[in-house]
Chain A
Amino acid sequence: MATVTNEPVSRQIRVPPSPEGLSAERIAYLESLVVQARRAAAAFTQYTQEEVDRIVKPMVVAGLEQAQNLARLAVEETGLGVLEDKALKNMVATEFVYNYVKDKKTVGAIREFPERGIVEVAEPIGVIFSLTPITNPTSTVLFKCIMAIKTRNAAIFSPHPNAWRCCFEAVRIMYETALEHGAPEGVFTCLESHGLQENAYLMKHKDIGLIDATGGPGVVKAAYSSGKPALGVGPGNTPVYLEKTADLNMAVVDIITSKTFDNGTICASEQTVVMDDEIFDQAVKKFVDLGAHLCNESETKLLERAVIDPGTGFMQPVAVGQKATDIAHRAGIAVKPKTKLLIAQIEGVGREHPLSVEKLFPVLSVYRAKSVDEALKVCVDVNHAGGVGHTAVVFSRDDEVVRRFSEVINAGRIIVNSPGSIGAFGGVYNDMVPTFSFGCGTGGGNSTTDNVNVYHYLNIKRVARRTQAHMWFRVPNQIYFNMNAVENLRRLQSKSTIIITNPGMEQIGYVDVVRRQLLPEALVHVCVIPDAEPEVKTILQGVEALNYYKADQIIALGGGSVIDAAKIMKLKYESPDADLEELAAPFMDIRKRVVEYPTEKVHRARLIAISTTSGTGSEVTPFAVLSDKERGRKVTLADYSLTPDVAIVDPQFVMSMPKGLTADTGIDCLTHALEAAVSIYASPYTDSNAMQAIRLVFKYLPIAYERPNDEEARCMMHNAACIAAIAFSNAAVGVNHALAHAFGARFGVAHGRANALMLPHVIAFNASVPSKFMPSPNQRGYIAHKKYATIAELLGLGGSTVEEKVKRLIVATEQLLDQLAIPRSIAELGISKEQFELAMPDLAKNAFDDPSWRSNPRMPLVSELVELFWIAYRGRGAAESTADLHQQTA
């Protein structure tokens, strides 16, 4: 064993006033122990796994060789327990523990999860202050020494004062063996004598990394109260349910084996056996046949007085670890000479039933239960009478009984059809981790319910590599496009079709155009809804029609509102129980959101969307907006199950769009594409669509605006709207939409126009150095400005640097807006500065509440949203206001 005589160490110790009342010499001694352990722990960090394992194995062998000697020392010194059993415990503490730890990695990378990009790396704790009990003294020391070496920690032992000599000898054997095989000097030390003051001092010492306290409640409480990380093992009071289907022969032998093992000193041993009425007498007879003594009523009273302290209600220390015959003699009960166990029947649990508490000696309480429920309740009572979190045992062949028992009992170890004490050790009767420290969870005032093992002696560092989030690209099954694409309806079988549309479509004959393409065998009905954002009552009326006609095909003919209405009608038709309010719950990442859209379908209907505007792209998006007039708000639904099955992008339905609508919807389409292009969810798949849509808008929108009858321009703008929608359906939009939603709703400005007022300024905003970056695991660095530069290149705008290209894109966007005669400032709409100022708090709040910006590359501060609103109010000059633009060359 390491001794503490190192002169320099002692000399440098500064002795503070000791709150524990220790002398200066005593403090110097304790400090020297810590310094020695600290040096050993520091040096130990340099060891490899192979070096550690080369030390552990001979320690285990030494422990096995000394198992009997140490057991004898323990029995002689403590006067508790059984030599043979203590020897067995020493062997379990070495051999069984070794069998568990020998192949475990405890140095460097100990576990790898390549699919998650995570590696766990071991970091030793340093110096462990280890308190060991009187009941399992040497086995606990052997166990903790092996754990400490396996994890490259140093340990200072403080054994129970009545088990000091045997523990000191166990530490010495472990230390000398470890040292011989290369362990750092000073890795184990043992307090020369035990005192509460010394323990208190070390428990609070700054260089103690962990307290591992196995012992009575006082020691454990002191450990947890020290302010240091601690592993403490609480007391037990193991209930056993012996249920009527159990194998009685096995159960009775197991219980006797366990309860008499080391004279019942193991805290996991059985305390009260609750038996079903049907088997009670038979089971008790078996106990008696195998060497137990059943106490009669008067003997039970004598036993209570002998082993339970009437003042505290707890067991008498003098009885702990004593033989059954000695206890009987002390109580004045006549028993046979070879009596192994004293059994006493109890009628309940609590202070009025003294034998219902923990008894670390071979005295077992039994209880007769009239039903499973009663048995479980009594087991719960026993569990809560001092044993919460520790151990419980059930004997039953009925899995349902085992399940119910494990649900109602709070125990870190629920041992099934095997002995409690030896079963709780792990590795003998079951595959639990071998241990000599039973974590009892919060119920027992402990930090873990585990069988304490090497992983509790390590700081486990997690090396988390950047992972690439799974992305997606989802589009409708079928998209038919170009002039007269509506003819493709003929390919689609249907027996009952409902056309959802609005009055305008009927008036200009578009409904008839669609009807003519439907197969003659289909029954066709038309459901005309108002030309406005759909309301709940509109949806419910539509669903009634779908149900009445047993529709198998829904055709939505109209703008975004009609298509949105049809999406929601389909949802409610197929899944009548769908709760729209619940489905509209906010989310941040569609893959991780809380609500789930229904997958169970009562009906199935194909949804075909035919768009009559070139902007929203609702025919291919997974979104639908519902107006909840009763509550004065909009409800946005988003799920890929809302995406229409078939999209028909036929320009014949947009040839008559008025100029203003052409301009507004066209800019809406451009905004979708530009925002999708720089979104944090952008991918090569969405980029290809976004870029193409932008190119088509810049080329064809001015033509469609100036020459509404130009079929090619109308066709390309219709395609552009659909392609841009495919991009933003998968990459989402950004801060432009957040601003436009808030502004449009407040001042009644059309969505596309509201977008247009913000667009040049948002490009400048996103292309500048962000004051706050948006977390974006899929992107390597900030790339929004480079994306804009790429778009400028695609449009052939020229420029040699990223900054120049971005400026040219802004100018080109402004020129396009001018060509479309779109107002270039909010002020131009006739909104006064005072009105705008008054609205600003709400505008900023609503824009920040809007989920759109959460995919924006730059996280907007509320103050920046306010600034953007004011820039848009004044209008123009976006290209000139970009002094902060990224300066990189392309």
Chain B
Amino acid sequence: MSTIAMFVKIDGKRVAEGLQEAQSKLNSSSEAVLDFTSVLRVQPKDLAALEELVQVAEDRGIKIELNGVNVGIYKVLKLAQLASRFAFRA
């Protein structure tokens, strides 16, 4: 069975909003790739949005992959206990 992947580029200046938009589109795909290459830093509200998004995705059995996450953000996701809930692509 072929999978339909959603690809969303996250704007580094409006991360939380971008994640909320991505969340609203989750219905139409079984896999989502969120491109973080332009995100240089995340704030607590972004982490909250990520957590909400991944919760929804997990509830629906959708896999979320984060692309181009820099190491600083990767560490933030580890500390926020979110890293294990995503797949990462360099």
Contact = CB atoms under 8 A, between A and B. Distances in A.
A, B co-complexed:
yes
Interface of A: 6-9, 11-12, 36, 38-43, 45-46, 126, 184-186, 207
B9 to A, nearest CB: 21
B72 A36 contact: no
Contacts of B76: 42-43, 45-46
A38 B48 contact: no
B81 A46 contact: no
A188 B73 CA distance: 21
Contacts of A126: 79
A698 to B, nearest CB: 57
Contacts of A186: 44
Contacts of A7: 52
Given A7-B52, A41-B79, A42-B80, 18 more contacts: A6-B48, A8-B51, A8-B55, A9-B51, A39-B80, A40-B44, A42-B47, A42-B76, A42-B79, A43-B43, A43-B44, A43-B47, A45-B76, A46-B76, A185-B44, A185-B45, A186-B44, A207-B81
A11 B47 CA distance: 15
Nearest to B49: A8
Interface in B36-90: 41-48, 51-52, 55, 72-73, 75-81
A12 B45 CA distance: 16
8 contacts: A8-B51, A39-B48, A40-B44, A43-B46, A45-B72, A45-B79, A46-B76, A185-B43
Contacts of A36: 44
A184 B81 CA distance: 17
A-B complex: 4 closest residue pairs judged by Cβ atoms: A42-B79, A8-B52, A39-B44, A42-B80
A164 to B, nearest CB: 25
Q: Which of A8, A12, A185 has the most CB of B within 10 A?
A: A8
Given A45-B72, A45-B76, A46-B72, A39 B47 contact: yes
B44 to A, nearest CB: 4
Contacts of A42: 44, 47, 75-80
Interface of A is mostly: helix
B23 to A, nearest CB: 10
Contacts of B77: 42
A168 B57 CA distance: 38
Contacts of B73: 46
A305 to B, nearest CB: 55
B74 to A, nearest CB: 11
Contact of A43 (B42, B51, B52): B42
Contacts of B81: 38, 207
A307 B56 CA distance: 61
Interface of B: 41-48, 51-52, 55, 72-73, 75-81
Given A43-B43, A184-B43, A8 B79 contact: no
A7 B48 CA distance: 10
B51 A38 contact: no
Contacts of A38: 79-81
Nearest to B43: A43
Nearest to A206: B81
A9 B44 contact: no
A46 B80 CA distance: 13
A839 to B, nearest CB: 58
A1 to B, nearest CB: 14
A253 to B, nearest CB: 51
Nearest to A126: B79
A43 B41 CA distance: 8
A12 B80 contact: no
A185 B46 CA distance: 11
Contacts of B41: 43, 46
A185 B75 CA distance: 18
Contacts of A207: 81
A43 B40 CA distance: 12
B26 to A, nearest CB: 14
A40 B45 CA distance: 9
A9 B48 contact: yes
B48 to A, nearest CB: 6
Contacts of A185: 43-45
B62 to A, nearest CB: 16
A6 B46 CA distance: 13
Contacts of B75: 42, 45
Contacts of A43: 41-44, 46-47, 76, 80
Nearest to A184: B44
Q: Which of A7, A12, A36, A43 has the most CB of B within 10 A?
A: A43
Nearest to A182: B43
A36 B45 CA distance: 9
A186 B43 CA distance: 10
Contacts of B51: 8-9, 12
A38 B79 CA distance: 7
Q: Which of B42, B43, B44, B51 has the most CB of A within 10 A?
A: B44
Nearest to A127: B79
A11 B52 CA distance: 10
Contacts of B43: 43, 184-185
A331 B72 CA distance: 63
Q: Which of B45, B47, B52 has the most CB of A within 10 A?
A: B47
Contacts of B47: 39, 42-43
B38 to A, nearest CB: 15
A7 B20 CA distance: 14
B32 to A, nearest CB: 17
Contacts of A40: 44
Contacts of B52: 7-8
A6 B49 CA distance: 10
Contacts of B42: 43, 46
A13 B78 CA distance: 18
Nearest to B53: A8
Contacts of A6: 48
A33 to B, nearest CB: 13
A12 B55 contact: yes
A11 B51 CA distance: 11
A43 B15 CA distance: 13
A8 B48 contact: yes
A153 to B, nearest CB: 12
B78 to A, nearest CB: 8
Contacts of A39: 44, 47-48, 80
A151 to B, nearest CB: 15
B49 to A, nearest CB: 9
A550 B40 CA distance: 82
Contacts of A11: 55
A11 B73 CA distance: 25
Q: Which of B41, B42, B72, B79 has the most CB of A within 10 A?
A: B79
A37 to B, nearest CB: 9
A735 to B, nearest CB: 45
Nearest to B70: A46
B81 to A, nearest CB: 7
A107 to B, nearest CB: 13
A748 B36 CA distance: 76
A46 B47 CA distance: 13
Contacts of A41: 79
A374 B55 CA distance: 71
A592 B66 CA distance: 53
A39 B47 CA distance: 7
Q: Which of A9, A12, A46, A186 has the most CB of B within 10 A?
A: A46
B51 to A, nearest CB: 6
Contacts of B80: 38-39, 42-43
A267 B34 CA distance: 55
Nearest to B81: A38
A48 to B, nearest CB: 10
A297 B43 CA distance: 66
Nearest to A2: B44
A541 to B, nearest CB: 73
A38 B81 CA distance: 9
A787 to B, nearest CB: 41
A554 B41 CA distance: 77
A855 B26 CA distance: 65
B68 to A, nearest CB: 16
